[in-house]
Structure 1
């Protein structure tokens, strides 16, 4: 944080457009020109694509007929995927917004995630099934089905190994699956009900929010690296995200606030209140300069990692720029 004083006030940027709660966020990677995008999912059935550094609206994917619960972009931001209460997951062209494919399910789709190479899509559904779709021929709706959950699935994401994924329901366990055999190869117990799962940008760490805490797992061995509890006053931790440098993580939850904490010891370094409802999702930008939050109040807000830095629409009147750590 060299060159940046602590006297600056955090001024979040607000991304309007959604008319109902925002429940999921996902970023693409940074491209060769330093640009990236993010997508927001909302109960208004209208997932939106945003310019990464400013949050500006690019377009809306239209076609779902129910609340959109999950969303993701591939690394290049050329394709998007969404899962919704209309019992479908959809694949989109992220350049023009056209629907490329719609995958029918038997219940609400809560989670979608692209594989690291972008050739497969995993979905998690309220019918307790995980499905894996090959995207080389997206019109072909054939899929693998992974059976083993006893409740509706909350999250399902690919991890470092291209043949493995992890999933959760709203219990304290996560499951590790091998898609080659469709079997559960390991179950890991967490300190409380699992609320969100995120894979770090370097695909080395899995960040899990649960009850009123956060646990970090090694993405290869699935051994616990660190586990921290938030103060009871914070309430339920709905979401957590790790900074790309692994210096800090942020959480959001039932008390409307965002907490930035040290990854080294879990101590709170900053906290901010700007939403007018519970925070449902938080995600760090891939360049680490800011984090996004989505809330019950229907807004997406962007928060600076290093307050006072000149970046995007944020301007520091006292200097030309500063570096984030």
Structure 2
């Protein structure tokens, strides 16, 4: 798999995201800029400029019409995907660490950081999709502060008004956004910070990665841990491959300790694990530093990884990947 190297960022990547068709790839980084690329050839289509701090997180709606981004400049911004215009800016007391659209594109959830006496707050905004999108409500539809450990990642579930959150303590919880109550939690889901959370296509299960060197698959309804993938390096991201039983994980030692280890020991590879058998099936090298974020094409034809080295690498899977029999000689019926 010869990767396509996307060079459009000057600092380390924080999140990458495919749109629902998979023809566009969005990337954000610590250099304040959001880029959008054609995923098939890696050509840069444009940039979204306006943030004054690290852009921590992005998400794009299912129609590829709106993009939301959260940044260290304490702003949540709404963008028009096609022309790069910033349509609306929400300002908060602290940095926005995670944003996500609901499956019907009507709402956006965002997590702001616990800092300088401010609590970690989860806010849900109802988007006004009429007209050009500039007429948004300044006030959130719902907001609440999770008690205890601060939330680091979040996503909407398939149940209306329910969101999943991953926390600094390793806890995973379900919150009712209307009342702000914790409906269910799994305190021991991970032993350290939850660094990423990605849902399956039908949102019935999800994968998380953590600094405790594991990635885990959980059931959305019960939060039960279904599978565990244990590595020897802190993980920053985990993604599910659609149509194939694979989980992709990436991470690596903290940037501070990288100089003391060789590339081989630093473990800067994207690692493929079998979702059912919990066995590692492959590795893809390439980055010169920890992998911070991984995204898989919605059709499962390629994947992209963004690293501390400022590069995004897009890998299109070869024919052998699709021909491989991941369950042995078993033929699966669709």
Does 2:130 correspond to 1:135?
no
Q: Cα distance, 1:136 vs. partner?
A: 1.3
Q: Cα distance, 1:41 vs. partner?
A: 1.2
2 CA distance for matches of 1:308 and 1:56?
A: 26
TM normalised by structure 1 equals: 0.86
Does 2:292 correspond to 1:292?
no
Aligned match of 1:73 in 34, 52, 60? 60
Aligned match of 1:24 in 9, 15, 40? 15
1 CA distance for matches of 2:294 and 2:28?
A: 12
2 CA distance for matches of 1:150 and 1:88?
A: 24
Q: Cα distance, 1:153 vs. partner?
A: 3.2
Q: Cα distance, 1:185 vs. partner?
A: 0.8
1 CA distance for matches of 2:11 and 2:147?
A: 29
8 Å Cα contact 2:39-2:314 kept in structure 1: no
Alpha-carbon spacing, 1:304–1:293, altered in 2? closer, same or farther (3 Å): same
Higher relative contact order (CA 8 A, sep 6+): 1
8 Å Cα contact 1:172-1:190 kept in structure 2: yes
Aligned to 1:281: 293
Alpha-carbon spacing, 1:247–1:15, altered in 2? closer, same or farther (3 Å): same
Aligned to 1:6: none
Alignment of 1:252-263 (within 5 A): 252-254=250-252, 255-263=267-275
Higher deviation after alignment, 78-87 or 193-202: 193-202
Does 2:131 correspond to 1:114?
no
8 Å Cα contact 1:207-1:240 kept in structure 2: yes
Give the RMSD, CA atoms, in angstroms.
1.9
2 CA distance for matches of 1:115 and 1:122?
A: 8
What CA deviation, in whole Å up to 9, does each residue of 1:242-266 have, x standing for no partner?
Answer: 1112411111101211101111112
Aligned to 1:146: 144
Q: Which consecutive residues of structure 1, in runs of 5 or more, have no partner in the other structure?
A: 1-9, 310-321
What CA deviation, in whole Å up to 9, does each residue of 1:171-221 have, x standing for no partner?
Answer: 110221111212111111213221111111222221111221111112233
1 CA distance for matches of 2:52 and 2:84?
A: 16
Aligned to 2:200: 200
8 Å Cα contact 2:36-2:46 kept in structure 1: yes
What CA deviation, in whole Å up to 9, does each residue of 1:82-116 have, x standing for no partner?
Answer: 00000001010001111111111110111010111
Higher deviation after alignment, 79-88 or 268-277: 268-277
Q: Which consecutive residues of structure 2, in runs of 5 or more, have no partner in the other structure?
A: 115-119, 130-134, 253-266, 326-334
Does 2:27 correspond to 1:54?
no
Secondary structure in 1 aligned to 2:155? Answer: strand
What CA deviation, in whole Å up to 9, does each residue of 1:256-303 have, x standing for no partner?
Answer: 111011111121111121011110011111010111101000011012
8 Å Cα contact 1:167-1:175 kept in structure 2: yes
Does 2:209 correspond to 1:209?
yes
Q: Cα distance, 1:21 vs. partner?
A: 0.4
2 CA distance for matches of 1:202 and 1:54?
A: 28
2 CA distance for matches of 1:274 and 1:307?
A: 21
TM normalised by structure 2 equals: 0.84
